[in-house]
Chain A
């Protein structure tokens, strides 16, 4: 991989995406071994995210490396008012690469201005979450390929960084994207602008009934309570944009359902056993995909 950092999926080309997915497939075929690399990965999580952190930790260790988890330390230095710029400069000395999760948009990009080691954006506010997108794409490719598809993306499209990253990445493929959300949570202007600029095939909907039969993939995201002024409004919206067996009756036979997890009640657990439900597998795919990403960013070719 030519690039040093992974900040957004907007910067990724189709061939770079495919390189990661291909490497992940090799690693998975080799039983999550297949590389032995001595490195230390710094995990800087300024926001709780056990899942992403553990997934990176598992990936690093399976690849032969180890992690220093700076989470607890960082929570204390944030309270003391240390800038992110200072934190990353200090922590650069402890690790060969960093993963940064931060509540503010643009944090990852800014961090790279202060360090010389590779950095992976592990989520910046409502901005981007590119490693999640790579595992989403890996899961989609495995089941339905990545071209000639209709993909529905449902839920909180305004604040959902996994949505923003996925939408940008999908513009590299022959995919029609259907965005389904309440009006108040539609895609932000800058994401719509980027999709428009790439000439992507994009449709926005406020109701899902007419869309479901068109889809090969339904990507569900959580609508959070705090996005709504009152509980009743939240309950009404959350109910309308949730999935159960009856929602999927009109769907194609091979529609798959994905979710970045954790879910609350936007997917009825009754469909967990359906062959459509791929969200747990999707979550497991985080390990080979992050192994591939680390392997390539740390110099996969010259091993």
Chain B
């Protein structure tokens, strides 16, 4: 990206998520529960040429700093992503996402007959596999469309 492009999309406070696998940024927004109706400034660049990934997406989200749970889930669909927390136009924190071994209470199990889907007082619990996640209660493996299984 050129200097000019970077300048027009700078944000004052918020998060820049870089190195998202090309084409995944809409899923990232779904994971973060952002649909544009919040009214805050949001810029997305999709399929930008990138040495490391071939094509990458970049998201700039004004007024929102990601928390650890959000970063954990993000890592499932964008394992190469870097997170930049911006305050007053400065990067105050820069980190790579780390793939967690487990994600608790974030995804819901797609197996309707799973005990976690029956109103019991229990949090969902998924083991992270190389290419998906697996419910630790019923064993169901989810590889596609993780964003559709986010708990409200």
Instruction: List chain A positions with a Cβ less than 8 A from chain B.
Output: 83-85, 102-107, 109-110, 113, 124-127, 189-191, 193-194
CA distance A194 to B111 in the complex (A): 18
- Does B114 lie within 8 Å of A104, measured CB to CB? yes
- Does B141 lie within 8 Å of A110, measured CB to CB? no
| 27 A-B residue pairs with CB within 8 Å | A83-B121, A84-B118, A85-B120, A102-B115, A103-B113, A104-B113, A104-B114, A104-B115, A104-B138, A105-B111, A105-B114, A105-B115, A106-B115, A106-B116, A106-B137, A109-B115, A109-B137, A110-B120, A110-B122, A124-B115, A125-B138, A127-B138, A189-B141, A190-B134, A190-B139, A190-B141, A194-B139
- Does A109 lie within 8 Å of B141, measured CB to CB? no
A106 partner residues in chain B, CB cutoff 8 A: 114-116, 135, 137-139
Query: Separation in Å of the A101 CB from the closest CB of chain B?
Result: 13
Q: Interface centre among B115, B116, B119, by most A CB within 10 Å?
A: B115
Q: Check if B136 is an interface residue, CB within 8 A of chain A.
A: yes
Q: Check if B140 is an interface residue, CB within 8 A of chain A.
A: yes
Total contacting residues, chain B, CB less than 8 A? 19
CA distance A18 to B115 in the complex (A): 31
Query: Which residue of chain B has the shortest Cβ distance to A107 in the bound complex?
Result: B115
**Known A85-B122, A126-B113; further 19 A-B contacts with Cβ < 8 A:** A83-B119, A84-B118, A84-B120, A104-B113, A104-B114, A104-B115, A104-B118, A105-B137, A106-B139, A109-B115, A109-B137, A110-B115, A113-B122, A125-B113, A125-B138, A127-B139, A190-B141, A193-B141, A194-B139
